[in-house]
């Protein structure tokens, strides 16, 4: 099985006593079910699974009373396998298809006999009514396609090599040239293959790009079928139009999604729910414009101005016009590939926990991304060509004293280098850019001595 970082999230959840059900969400075909099955084999003596898409009759378990005893009695009768209290993991797969199961989670978690994982691929877009959400009884985990670090591990890059590269990122020192060249070559492969697990596995097994592209086209077709199956009838045409337009919109010079390109009469308020559908389904990654690069960025966001990235760079390559895979594999990351470079960086940032924003003004120009890390805002430029030291908009932004921007990153083909507040980093080092996390324990006791 491909090694996934989410494995450690599952381990942490189990160590905490699995006192809540773990809800794993994300786009279709990103490996949620495979990960849970493998984790169950490794960490539990017993495993049971209900898939509400492949086995619609499984919903009958939740048709009667929703108390724990009744559900477990029906569950064991339906599955016909022994369940061992304290050492059984039960997976409710594609739980969006059975709202009653989602409601029942509260009672099952309170009962405490077994541990529960739910997965949902289109949870945010399903319109079926859930009687009662299990607030306080679910822990959320969002999954994405394999990021570049996971892709490296799938292709045999050793842990010590990744640790060495991470140390160069942290110390801002150049990577040895042979290693840098090899990593750029692997990154160029990632642009073509992307991170969809079945596609990555096919590449690892065969190294046949023709098979890779064929699988990617199958996945794109699956996403279009999902739109036809799950979207409201009145929205299907709009959602499909947006989905199909993502590659061409990104290929535009400013990357911003322009509704008028879909239809001269298109208006934001009529299409808003369609954009949200694709985002909730995990298929698209919106990146919103901010009026100022100051924290909190969410308060400065303008949701009427945005870029829309595809959730997987390999799918973007497959969906783009022309056979661009050969050029990418040969390292031709020129200006015409700017959309692909931005998409892969967006994919990495989002998978690592950053919200996506960008800055654009007539006076200062456009900076590809601005992300918030704690109280700090970090501007990021992505350069696909050889002119990565030319970044007028970034220089203009850093010159605004009131914004207190101390550092900026330029991701490019070059090696690590530092020039004043700007750090130049190889594109593959996007895998090390992660937001600060609160410590697991943060105890604070106020001084009340004056009140005694």
Lowest mean pLDDT segment, chosen from 204-218, 298-312, 380-394: 298-312
Q: For position 90, what pLDDT does the model report?
A: 96
Q: CB-side exposure of 314: number of CA atoms within 13 Å?
A: 30
Predicted model pTM: 0.90
Q: For position 189, what pLDDT does the model report?
A: 95
CA–CA separation, 362 and 373 (whole Å): 26
pLDDT tier at 379, thresholds 50, 70, 90: very high
Q: Give me the mean pLDDT over the 182-204 stretch.
A: 97
SS3 state at 437: coil
pLDDT tier at 272, thresholds 50, 70, 90: low
SS3 state at 36: helix
Q: Give me the mean pLDDT over the 113-142 stretch.
A: 77
Instruction: Evaluate if residue 182 carries a pLDDT over 80.
Output: yes
Of the two residues 21 and 244, the one the predictor is more confident about is 21
Report, in angstroms and rounded to the nearest whole number, the Rg of the chain calculated over CA atoms: 23
Instruction: Evaluate if residue 234 carries a pLDDT over 90.
Output: no
Instruction: Evaluate if residue 265 carries a pLDDT over 70.
Output: no
pLDDT tier at 440, thresholds 50, 70, 90: low
Bridge partners, residue 408, by sequence: 422
pLDDT tier at 231, thresholds 50, 70, 90: confident
Q: What is the DSSP secondary structure assignment for residue 426, as one 8-state letter?
A: E
Q: For position 342, what pLDDT does the model report?
A: 93
Lowest mean pLDDT segment, chosen from 128-132, 207-211, 282-286: 128-132
Q: Give me the mean pLDDT over the 417-427 stretch.
A: 97
Lowest mean pLDDT segment, chosen from 222-236, 278-292, 299-313, 436-450: 436-450
Cβ pair 368, 381 in contact under 8 A: yes
Closest CA to 355 of 442, 433, 252, 285: 285
Tokens 């304290």 locate to 86
Q: For position 258, what pLDDT does the model report?
A: 57
Q: Which two tokens stand for residue 50?
A: 């209900």
Above pLDDT 70, what percent of the chain? 90
pLDDT tier at 96, thresholds 50, 70, 90: confident
Of the two residues 261 and 30, the one the predictor is more confident about is 30
Closest CA to 137 of 101, 108, 157: 108
pLDDT tier at 337, thresholds 50, 70, 90: confident
Q: Give me the mean pLDDT over the 119-129 stretch.
A: 66
Q: What is the mean pLDDT of the chain?
A: 89
Domains located in the chain, CATH noted: 6-142 (3.40.50.300), 148-432 (no CATH)
Instruction: Evaluate if residue 271 carries a pLDDT over 90.
Output: no
pLDDT tier at 439, thresholds 50, 70, 90: low
Q: In this predicted model, what pLDDT tens digit does every residue of 48-71 receive, in sequence order?
A: 999 998 999 999 999 888 889 999
CA–CA separation, 428 and 434 (whole Å): 14
CA–CA separation, 189 and 80 (whole Å): 46
Instruction: Evaluate if residue 323 carries a pLDDT over 90.
Output: no
Instruction: Evaluate if residue 166 carries a pLDDT over 90.
Output: yes
Above pLDDT 90, what percent of the chain? 65
Of the two residues 130 and 211, the one the predictor is more confident about is 211
pLDDT tier at 327, thresholds 50, 70, 90: confident
Q: Give me the mean pLDDT over the 295-312 stretch.
A: 88
CA–CA separation, 67 and 52 (whole Å): 20
Q: Which two tokens stand for residue 162?
A: 């990744």
Instruction: Evaluate if residue 164 carries a pLDDT over 60.
Output: yes
Q: For position 335, what pLDDT does the model report?
A: 43
Q: For position 127, what pLDDT does the model report?
A: 46
CA–CA separation, 309 and 287 (whole Å): 8
Of the two residues 430 and 132, the one the predictor is more confident about is 430
């Amino acid at each position: 099985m491909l090694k996934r970082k989410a494995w450690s999230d599952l381990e942490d959840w189990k160590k905490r006593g699995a006192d809540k059900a773990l809800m794993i969400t994300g786009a279709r075909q990103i490996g949620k079910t495979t990960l849970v099955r493998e984790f169950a084999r490794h960490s539990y003596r017993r495993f049971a699974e209900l898939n509400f898409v492949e086995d619609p009759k499984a919903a009958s378990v939740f048709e009667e009373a929703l108390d724990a005893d009744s559900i477990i009695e029906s569950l064991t009768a339906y599955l016909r396998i022994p369940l061992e209290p304290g050492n059984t993991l039960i997976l409710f797969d594609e739980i969006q298809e059975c709202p009653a199961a989602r409601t029942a989670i509260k009672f099952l978690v309170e009962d405490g006999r077994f541990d529960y994982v739910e997965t949902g691929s289109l949870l945010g877009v399903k319109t079926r009514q859930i009687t009662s959400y299990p607030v306080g009884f679910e822990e959320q985990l969002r999954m994405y396609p394999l990021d570049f670090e996971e892709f490296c591990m799938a292709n045999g890059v050793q842990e010590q090599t990744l640790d060495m590269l991470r140390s160069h990122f942290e110390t801002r020192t150049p990577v040895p040239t042979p290693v840098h060249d090899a990593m750029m070559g692997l990154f160029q492969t990632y642009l073509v293959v992307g991170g969809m697990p079945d596609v990555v596995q096919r590449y690892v097994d065969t190294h046949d790009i023709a098979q890779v592209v064929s699988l990617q086209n199958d996945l794109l077709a699956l996403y279009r079928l999902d739109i036809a199956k799950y979207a409201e009838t009145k929205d299907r045409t709009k959602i499909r139009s947006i989905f199909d337009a993502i590659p061409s919109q990104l290929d535009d010079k400013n990357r911003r999604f322009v509704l008028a390109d879909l239809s001269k009469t298109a208006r934001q308020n009529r299409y808003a729910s369609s954009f949200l559908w694709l985002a909730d389904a995990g298929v698209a990654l919106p990146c919103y414009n901010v009026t100022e690069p100051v924290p909190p960025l969410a308060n400065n966001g303008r949701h009427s101005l945005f870029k829309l990235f595809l959730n997987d760079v390999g799918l973007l390559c497959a969906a783009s016009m022309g056979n661009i895979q050969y050029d990418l594999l040969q390292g031709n990351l020129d200006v015409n590939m700017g959309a692909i470079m931005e998409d892969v960086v967006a994919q990495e940032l989002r998978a690592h926990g950053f919200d996506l924003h960008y800055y654009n003004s007539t006076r200062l120009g456009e900076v590809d991304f601005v992300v918030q890390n704690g109280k700090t805002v970090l501007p990021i430029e992505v350069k696909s060509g050889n002119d990565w030291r030319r970044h007028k908009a970034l220089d203009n932004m850093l010159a605004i004293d009131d914004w207190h921007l101390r550092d900026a990153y330029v991701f490019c083909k070059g090696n690590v280098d530092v020039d004043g507040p700007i750090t130049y980093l190889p594109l593959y080092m996007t895998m090390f850019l992660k937001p600060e996390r609160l410590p697991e324990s943060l105890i604070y006791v106020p001084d009340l001595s004056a009140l005694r």
